A and B are shown apart, each in its own frame.
Chain A
Amino acid sequence: AQSVTQLGSHVSVSEGALVLLRCNYSSSVPPYLFWYVQYPNQGLQLLLKYTSAATLVKGINGFEAEFKKSETSFHLTKPSAHMSDAAEYFCAVSDKYNQGGKLIFGQGTELSVKP
């Protein structure tokens, strides 16, 4: 069975500092991986996705993630945090043999940005 683990339910950074949100996955087949962001009282917005092409994936709002098969990781980074990045971030996995593209979400990481 597939699963996703997000290390740290809450991460706090200063404005301008590096953002690093950790995601490790478990999958017996090559995974498709996603990062979503959820602002308060809103739906989820896709930040980026990995679908077995380039291992370094660039997304919206300056975020990127690197797929490391040897570490079964897909950590999300942003060089310089902005106040508007404060939100909940979810990592998700979906395997390509799963009909309907069911997403398995991690528990989420709340990002706080201090001025």
Chain B
Amino acid sequence: DTEVTQTPKHLVMGMTNKKSLKCEQHMGHRAMYWYKQKAKKPPELMFVYSYEKLSINESVPSRFSPECPNSSLLNLHLHALQPEDSALYLCASSQDRQQIPYEQYFGPGTRLTVT
């Protein structure tokens, strides 16, 4: 099974709402990633978790809060977002061993619209 699942598929939220995005993988991968992708642009890395610990935060605003409850799950908590945060949010996972960059497997994404 090489599948990364993401829920919900679509999300519309107001600027005062709190919502969460969920990502799940059952490939035994110990690295998980959140990306943000605007239309016609490459994905931009937001966060990396390695063995359930946050290892990279690409200076993301605090209105985005990641959480890795266990090795299979990754959440992204959203609060007080701005309209410019509207984008496709992609989750990915990979094996994680030092000095070996394994390929990342991506989920289908959550299309987020902030009104």
Residues of A within 8 A of B (CB): 32, 34, 36, 41-46, 49, 88, 90, 94-103, 105-108, 110
In the assembled complex, the CB of B55 is this many whole angstroms from the nearest CB of chain A, namely: 5
In the assembled complex, the CB of B92 is this many whole angstroms from the nearest CB of chain A, namely: 8
Interface size on B, residues (CB 8 A): 29
Does the CB pair A41–B111 fall under 8 Å?
yes
Chain B residue numbers with a CB within 8 Å of A42 are 108-109
A106 to B94: give the CA distance in the assembly, Å.
20
Does the CB pair B45–A102 fall under 8 Å?
yes
Say if the beta carbon of B64 comes within 8 Å of chain A. no
Return the chain A residue nearest B108 by Cβ: A43
Say if the beta carbon of B90 comes within 8 Å of chain A. yes
A49 to B31: give the CA distance in the assembly, Å.
18
Does the CB pair B42–A105 fall under 8 Å?
yes
Enumerate 15 A-B pairs (CB-CB under 8 Å) in ascending A order. A42-B109, A43-B109, A94-B101, A97-B99, A100-B55, A101-B101, A101-B102, A101-B104, A103-B101, A103-B104, A105-B42, A106-B42, A107-B41, A108-B40, A108-B42
Say if the beta carbon of B15 comes within 8 Å of chain A. no
Other A-B contacts than A41-B109, A100-B50, A106-B42, 10 sampled, CB-CB below 8 A, are A34-B103, A43-B107, A49-B103, A96-B101, A98-B101, A100-B31, A100-B96, A101-B101, A101-B104, A102-B45
Return the chain A residue nearest B111 by Cβ: A41
Say if the beta carbon of B98 comes within 8 Å of chain A. yes
Does the CB pair A32–B101 fall under 8 Å?
yes
Does the CB pair A90–B42 fall under 8 Å?
yes
In the assembled complex, the CB of A65 is this many whole angstroms from the nearest CB of chain B, namely: 14
In the assembled complex, the CB of A79 is this many whole angstroms from the nearest CB of chain B, namely: 24
Does the CB pair A43–B96 fall under 8 Å?
no
Chain B residue numbers with a CB within 8 Å of A96 are 99-101
Return the chain A residue nearest B91 by Cβ: A43
Does the CB pair B107–A95 fall under 8 Å?
no
In the assembled complex, the CB of A94 is this many whole angstroms from the nearest CB of chain B, namely: 4
